[in-house]
Structure 1
Amino acid sequence: MLVKTRGIVLNYIKFRESSIITKIYTEQLGVQSYIVNSVRKKGSSSRIALFQPFTLLDMVVYSSHKGGLSRISEYRSGHPFSTIPFDIRKSSILLFLSEIVSKTVKEEEENQPLFSFLYNAIITFDEMETGYENFHLFFLLQLSHHLGFGPSTGAEVVEQVAFSSKAQAPGVAPTVLAIQAHEAYFDQLLRQPDNPGIPSGKVRRELLAILIRYYQLHVERLGEINSLAILSEVLS
């Protein structure tokens, strides 16, 4: 059966000589994996570019109740980016966020509120000319609500992280105090995302570390975030 749907590319891996297997979060079918042939041949760079993380696609796909790998009948860009491919900071943020979404969103069924949030957030991010350094923090907080563990206050974040078993290990009391000192920043991100008042890159990195730990408390086997090192270096 053919299904017309929008999609958000999460990642891909190389498959055989010139093909890929790509994971895409679709509007109609949830998370799906597709084999795409002949996109890595010489001269096909424009096609492989459509499968970079968080690329937005319009697709016609084959769907089967049997599950497993399927194929894409037709695909094209759903929203050509105007800034992301040309800004290393933006592309690094999207790489990081796509890895988080890939590891946290697993459902193979329609979830219109989640899809709309992701799709619109990506477009908004592409259109932002300034002030996007905190976008990934706001995004993670909003995503957590769609995943079912979103906080209503900064206290919820810092208390859960500060008093988790890892934070309470012997000799790390100052770390607990440092975590609690960031409560006001999370409140600002939740209530005033356009002006959170984060004073420096150092504080931004600390907030991100706390948020990742918060996710690890709620998402089983989240594991290490491979793109975090790249993001930290680019935004330092």
Structure 2
Amino acid sequence: MLDKTTGIVLSITAYNDKTSLVHVYTEKYGRISYALPLQQGKKSRLMRTLFSPFAILYIDGEVKPRQDIQRIKDVQTAVPVFQLHYDPIKNAITLFLAEFLSKVIREPEPNNSFFRFLLQSIQFLNLMEDGKANFHICFLIELTGYMGFYPNISGYKKGDFFDLINGVFSAIRPNHSYFLSSMEAGVFYKIMRMNYNNLHLFQFNRGERSEILDYIITYFKLHHAGFQELKSLDVLKALFD
């Protein structure tokens, strides 16, 4: 059947010499892969320009159960997010987070609260100015909650370690290698107080921000089976170096 839904573009991958696949997280159906023709017609060219990472679109397309690839009838911009592509910092963050989400969102089922989180986060990033270099850190911390492994920060005391496997602070050094030192754990506790409205209050140098991102990625790798390497990570770090 044909149906309309709002979707957020995650990535585009090659399929064959005539078609690409655009991977979209939709409001009604969760993650969907749509066939995107590579013909040179005016409509095909226009459609391809709309499918940039984190584009927010109205999509009119097929929804066939048990079919891996759906087809698009029509697509329109739902919310313009031009700054994500014109601002170099926002663009690097967009490419990184879109790739990150492509790795961790696997289930096709819809999740309304998660979709609203993505939608509001993308719109906030598009408009924000102060503190944008911290946006991806805050986003990933919030994402752990939707993935089901938000860190437990209750009971933290200065000098505690942070156990990356169990997601808790501990006064006793864990008996494995996946933990943060007391100094690193203090920084981690600090970023857990971040939200989109106070990002500008958290001052980190480039090295600190890179280390924080490495902690978070390690945490995801430990809690999300099959997590793959991120091609855009080095680009993001280079921008802040």
In structure 2, the residue matched to 1:204 is 209
How far 1:22 moved relative to its partner?
Answer: 1.0
How far 1:129 moved relative to its partner?
Answer: 2.2
| Alpha-carbon separation, structure 2, partners of 1:218 and 1:106 | 14
How far 1:197 moved relative to its partner?
Answer: 2.1
Q: Please tell me whether the aligned partners of residues 35 and 72 of structure 1 are also in contact (alpha carbons under 8 angstroms).
A: yes
Tell me whether 1:56 sits opposite 2:75 in the alignment: no
How far 1:194 moved relative to its partner?
Answer: 3.1
The TM-score, its normalising length taken from structure 1, stands at: 0.86
Describe the superposition over 1:60-110 as per-residue Cα deviations: whole angstroms up to 9, x where unpaired. Answer: 120111221110111111112231111121111011111111111112122
In structure 1, the residue matched to 2:230 is 225
| Alpha-carbon separation, structure 1, partners of 2:115 and 2:215 | 25
| Alpha-carbon separation, structure 1, partners of 2:234 and 2:5 | 34
How far 1:19 moved relative to its partner?
Answer: 3.0
In structure 2, the residue matched to 1:136 is 136
How far 1:196 moved relative to its partner?
Answer: 4.5
Q: Please tell me whether the aligned partners of residues 47 and 75 of structure 2 are also in contact (alpha carbons under 8 angstroms).
A: no
Q: Please tell me whether the aligned partners of residues 5 and 26 of structure 2 are also in contact (alpha carbons under 8 angstroms).
A: yes
In structure 2, the residue matched to 1:176 is 181
Matched to 1:144, the amino acid is: T
Q: Please tell me whether the aligned partners of residues 21 and 34 of structure 2 are also in contact (alpha carbons under 8 angstroms).
A: yes
| Alpha-carbon separation, structure 1, partners of 2:175 and 2:86 | 40
The share of aligned pairs that are identical, in percent, is: 27
How far 1:190 moved relative to its partner?
Answer: 5.8
Tell me whether 1:33 sits opposite 2:33 in the alignment: yes
| Alpha-carbon separation, structure 2, partners of 1:126 and 1:83 | 5
1:159 pairs, out of 143, 159, 162, with 162
Q: Please tell me whether the aligned partners of residues 153 and 189 of structure 2 are also in contact (alpha carbons under 8 angstroms).
A: no
Structure 2 unmatched runs, 5+: 165-172
| Alpha-carbon separation, structure 1, partners of 2:132 and 2:126 | 10
Matched to 2:107, the amino acid is: E
The TM-score, its normalising length taken from structure 2, stands at: 0.84
Q: Please tell me whether the aligned partners of residues 34 and 71 of structure 2 are also in contact (alpha carbons under 8 angstroms).
A: yes
Matched to 1:47, the amino acid is: M
In structure 2, relative to structure 1, the CA distance for the partners of 1:187 and 1:144 (3 Å cut) is: closer
In structure 2, the residue matched to 1:89 is 89
Moved more, 53-62 or 158-167: 158-167
Aligned partner of residue 35 in structure 1, secondary structure: strand
What's the RMSD between the two structures over aligned residues?
A: 2.7
Alignment length (residue pairs): 229
Matched to 1:73, the amino acid is: K
User: Within 5 Å, which residues of 2 pair with 1:95-134?
Assistant: 95-134=95-134
In structure 2, relative to structure 1, the CA distance for the partners of 1:124 and 1:35 (3 Å cut) is: same
| Alpha-carbon separation, structure 2, partners of 1:45 and 1:64 | 25
| Alpha-carbon separation, structure 1, partners of 2:175 and 2:236 | 25
